[in-house]
Structure 1
Amino acid sequence: MEKIKSYFTDRKQQVVLFSSTAIALYGYDQGMMSLINTNQDYLKTMGIAEEDPQVGVIVSIYYLGCAVGAVIFSYLADTYGRKPALFGCLAMASLGNLIMFVSGLGYSQGALIVMYIGRVVMGLGVGGVDSVVPVYSSELASDDSRGKALAQEFQSNIFGLNMAFAINLALTVHLGKTNEWAWRIPIIAMQLYPLGLLAIFERLPESPRWFIFHERHDDAAASLKYIMGEEDGKKMLGELQENAKQESGKSIGYKDMFNPKHPMFHPTLITIMGQVNQALTGYGAVSVYGPQIFELLGYEVQLSEFLTQGNFISYFFLMTFAWLLVDAVGRRTVLLGGSAALITCFLLLTLFGGLASESSELGIPRQAVAIPGIVSLFLATGAFGIGWLATIWLIPTEIFPTSARAQGTAVSVIIWGLANFAVTLLTPILFNNLKYWLFLVFAMTNTFAGVWTYFYQPETGGRSFEENQEFFDEAREAGSWRVGKVRDGEFRKLPYPKPDGEEGETQPLLERVRDQL
């Protein structure tokens, strides 16, 4: 019987486990501030009122830190290696979290400034995590399992979100919204992630692709042997060396990536539009305003908070379909399917939100519109997770050459940071003024995201990094970015491999899904 490898002996699985835990750190912060913002002791310590715009600014300034951190740590990842950059961003996130924890601890004057500093410093670290981890993970995954690896990591992101919200909710229920430790404990609990990761850091291999790119071939050989074994490592080393020859001398900077005449402009724009479209799905606003949406459907505050936790738990389990499907049916299919489901769910939420607001006048029982509204919101959350959460972070790691992969992922984080900064600032205004009509706006923005994806997003799954470069070369020759006009639409579909390398029919979809299990 073949020995089953565990996370403790399989090097690739160790990388997935490490990367998953690092991405969970990012998820934890997303869920951490939601209930802290309503804690009366926190607001008093910061010297602000609950309706003060600074409540939103404290949250959103973190995303600006993420954008800057992505640039800094992507540079470090390219210059000094993926591992040193990972060490730096984890240490930075830990420091920022500690600064947040001590803000106003035993003093009041200047507490708000310290909290701002903590949020920015932690943003620098988490932005580094978001830019370096996907690159590191994808460079150590095989071509037909990159999507599964990253989707599993982003399922851990939702685990972190659940953990933060659960700790917040439990402490709020048992200690109350006026207790200092009901908001300080959730902050310091996040230290489990960076400190735990730093403790096991030395067991990780450096990226062989990074070694090859820096002409450290002996180190690359040692890293591949450590990851894959001697025989497979030697074979892969030859392939990486050949690919490196094709990229040699091609130094690429951010100026090149934003130059419309440069070959990297096309993949850069796809990366930017991916994050813009992810923001247009509207789920950033839904995740921030989950409790208020349940209140809009007619539920009291505490029950709305419990329903939000239930939504996040459902989110975590539905994310399983993301890593089962993303390599089996392709990136385009899950993105387009996610858009279609989100459009439908937001149209339904517009309807049920409107009926809920007029239920007394119309004589409609509250539960008759609240329950289908809950189902619609749960399904919208799952559709976003399966279709749009991990996929948008995966694509930049697949469409850039090694010389620009870290910068490309950094651009993705920068746009994500700026988009979320805007969302967290605008959402209170939009939600308070539009109420349930905001869902109709999201239905329209999802339509735009889906249409753009259909026409311009190439299928990058099942292809090597080098094969994906061919799309951009062919697009330049065809004089069009429309996927359907490049090589007769070949990049609209996933290239199903032959089973076991044999001639014959392509591997059936159900077999590919089975292989992911």
Structure 2
Amino acid sequence: MTSTHGATPSETALPKLTPGPYRKRLGLISIVACFGGLLFGYDTGVINGALRPMAAEIGLDAFTEGVVTSSLVFAAAVGALFGGRISDAIGRRRTIIILAVLFFLGTVVVVASPGFALLVAGRVMLGLAVGGASTVVPVYLAELAPFEIRGSITGRNEVAIVTGQLSAFVINAILGNTLGHLDGVWRIMFAVCAIPAICLFFGMLRMPESPRWLVEKGRHADALAVLKTVRSEERAIAELGEVEQVAKEEQREAKVGLAAVLTNKWLIRILLIGVGVSMMQQLTGINSIMYYGQVVLIESGFEESAALIANIAPGVVAVIGGFIALYMMDRVDRRKTFAIGLTLTTTCHLLIGAASLALPVGNPARPFVILILVVAFVASMQTFLNVAVWVYLAEIFPLHMRGLGIGVSVFFGWMTNGFLALYFPSLIAGMGISGVFFLFAGIGAVALLFTITQVPETRGVTLEKLEVGVTTGAIHVVRRRR
């Protein structure tokens, strides 16, 4: 059994990557596709600063605030589940174009909404688009990228997500502190995301389809044409041969998608691992900070306007951490990255809870200590977990179930996210900052145990080699022997 690191017999058959114009083409494709991640980030982050003026104008109470916030997240779960299946049917590129339209329409509905009902409808539309983008964009990038740099290419989407969230925090702070006296300032905050939606739509019209999806649909000549634009000709031909070989083996099995999963215990296992990894990411509470960061900072002792500005700090370190993660993604094992991240985030949870107990309300040091620890938590999460999780989910599933696998996994992640978004204000009110973060710490310890005992390695292996290992269960045997 070969190791999952370095070259294997499958990889050494492929010509090495060489400099050329195709590298620039691949970079352009990733930039355009990552507008989907930018929209994902902005639409999930904008509520952080828009919620309070929105609630004041429309007359939301604590429960309806939770509904407005979580409606996007629960809709994203549905969008993730069906987005993957739709992209399996009509293609990654066409699905992303449809999502761009949905992003734009959802923005228009939210900005124009006169009251609660239409506001929630617009948030649901945005949620469907966010969920679809969260599954389709990483898969699109992973299927276009060479295996040697797949982690850094696919991980760019997560950097785009946190860049979108940081943009939302900065724009919220600027608009909130300059136009906060206007009733409709929150509408301007939301309107900004129409711009990247337009860029995504027109950009994807000029981008190619995933070559692996094309092979699955029998369009081999089209797949080779696409590969030649993002590889050297020699590499493109060799890589197409690998993809075709795996596709032929799948056809002989005569089972794809859900039917294949339910009749293969190893595919069921990898699907459960995908679900576990996705839920693990959300149960750190990272998105509770991204949605309710201002609430946490006000609870810790900041004034409202100061909290709006201080809330930019987690957004900044998230982007910095994202770029560090991209550097590490093709150099450090996924499992090791997960383990380091969970150790650090769980430690931060414990420290936040302890600081909240040790520093009573009114202590001038309390808000700044908690802010520093929250920033450390976000930095740890972004550097070691967020990017790695999205890359992992995009690469671990075989081609015939990739849309289904990532869709189901991210569905459970979004549902976990949704319940946290809905009940986080109530948890803070009932348990206080210390109780909530001690709870997150306990969950983090369980997630660390799950990672060490169950999650197989994927770095440095072609998608086709991974597919064989996952389908036969060999990927788990390799991990145990190592």
TM-score normalised by structure 2 residue count: 0.90
Task: Give the secondary-structure state (helix, strand or coil) at the position aligned to 2:302.
Answer: coil
Match of 1:489 in 2: 480
1:4 deviation in Å?
A: 7.9
Can you list the C-alpha shifts for 1:22-71, whole angstroms capped at 9, x where unaligned? 111100012111121100xx33553x33x330111111111222222223
| Alignment-derived partner of residue 344 in structure 1 | 347
| Bigger shift: residues 220-229 or 450-459 | 220-229
Moved more, 282-291 or 207-216: 282-291
Match of 2:227 among 224, 229, 246: 224
Instruction: Give the C-alpha shift of residue 5 in structure 1.
Output: 6.6
Aligned positions, number = 463
Q: Which residue does 1:509 correspond to in 2?
A: none
What is aligned with 1:86? 96
Q: Which residue of 389, 398, 404 corresponds with 1:407? A: 404
Shift of residue 473, structure 1, vs aligned partner: 4.9
| One-letter code aligned to 1:149 | I
Distance in 2, Cα, partners of 1:330 & 1:397:
15
Q: What's 1:499 paired with?
A: none
> What letter is aligned with 1:153?
N
2:187 aligned to 181, 184, 189, which one? 184
Contact 1:256 1:262 in 2 (8 A): no
What does 1:56-95 align with in structure 2 at a 5 Å threshold? Answer: 56-95=66-105
Closer, same or farther: CA 180–229 of 1 in aligned 2, 3 Å: farther
State the alpha-carbon separation in 2 of the partners of residues 282 and 117 from structure 1: 26
Q: Which residue of 2 aligns with 1:276?
A: 279
Does residue 1:133 correspond to 2:143, yes or no? no
**Residues 1:317 and 2:307 are matched in the alignment:** no
Q: Distance in 2 between matches of 1:447 and 1:213?
A: 40
- After TM superposition, the structure 1 = structure 2 runs for residues 106-505 of structure 1, keeping only pairs within 5 Å, are 111-176=115-180, 178-249=181-252, 250-254=254-258, 257=261, 259=262, 262-357=265-360, 366-367=364-365, 369-435=366-432, 436-473=434-471, 475=473, 483=476, 486-487=477-478, 489-490=480-481
1:263 CA displacement: 3.8
Rounded Cα–Cα distance in structure 1 between residues aligned with 2:40 and 2:471: 35
CA–CA distance in structure 2, aligned partners of residues 64 and 304 of structure 1: 27
The answer to whether residue 48 in structure 2 is matched with residue 34 in structure 1 is yes
Q: Distance in 1 between matches of 2:350 and 2:279?
A: 21
SS state at 2:248 partner: helix
Q: 2:333 is matched by which residue type in structure 1?
A: G
Higher helix content, 1 or 2 = 2
User: Aligned pair in 2 of structure 1 residues 160, 305: CA closer, same or farther (>3 Å)?
Assistant: same
Q: Which one scores higher on RCO, CA 8 angstroms, separation ≥ 6?
A: 2
Match of 1:43 in 2: 55
Shift of 1:305: 1.9
Amino acid at match of 1:18: V
Alpha-carbon displacement from aligned partner over 1:274-332 (angstroms, at most 9, x marks no partner): 11111221222222232233334332222222111122112211222211112211111
Q: Measure, in 1, the Cα distance between the counterparts of 2:344 and 2:316.
A: 19
- Higher Rg: 1
Instruction: Indicate how the Cα distance of structure 1 residues 153 and 329 shifts in structure 2: closer, same or farther if over 3 A, else same.
Output: same
Cα distance between partner residues in 2 of 1:260 and 1:375: 49
Once structures 1 and 2 are overlaid, which stretch shifts more, 205-214 or 244-253?
Answer: 244-253
Instruction: Give yes or no for contact 2:224–2:237 (8 Å, CA) kept in 1.
Output: yes
Per-residue deviation, residues 143-202 of structure 1 (Å, max 9, x unmatched): 1212111222211111100111211111111112x5233111111110111101112223
Q: 2: distance between equivalents of 1:383 and 1:432? A: 26
Amino acid at match of 1:55: E
* Deviation by residue 1:88-120 (Cα, 9 ceiling, x = unmatched): 11111211111111111xxxxxx3221121111
**Residues 254 and 248 of structure 1: CA distance in aligned 2, closer, same or farther (over 3 Å):** closer
Structure 2 regions of 5+ residues with no counterpart? 1-17
Deviation (angstroms), 1:417: 1.9
TM score, norm. by length of structure 1: 0.84
User: Matches of 1:326 and 1:95 in 2, distance apart?
Assistant: 35
Give the aligned partner of residue 107 of structure 1: none
345-354 vs 465-474, which moves further = 465-474
2:62 is matched with which residue: 41, 52, 62?
Answer: 52
What's the CA shift for 1:468? 2.3
What residue is the counterpart of 2:14 in the other structure? none
Contact 2:278 2:412 in 1 (8 A): yes
Instruction: Calculate the aligned-residue CA RMSD, in Å.
Output: 2.3
CA distance 1:139–1:356, change in 2 (3 Å)? same
Amino acid at match of 2:359: A
**Kept after mapping to 1: 8 A contact 2:76/2:127:** yes
CA distance in 1, matches of 2:69, 2:438: 26
For residue 50 of structure 2, what is the amino acid of its counterpart? Answer: I
Match of 1:13 in 2: 27
CA distance in 2, matches of 1:247, 1:256: 10
1:221–1:54 distance in 2 versus 1, CA, 3 Å: same
Q: Secondary structure at the match of 2:192?
A: helix
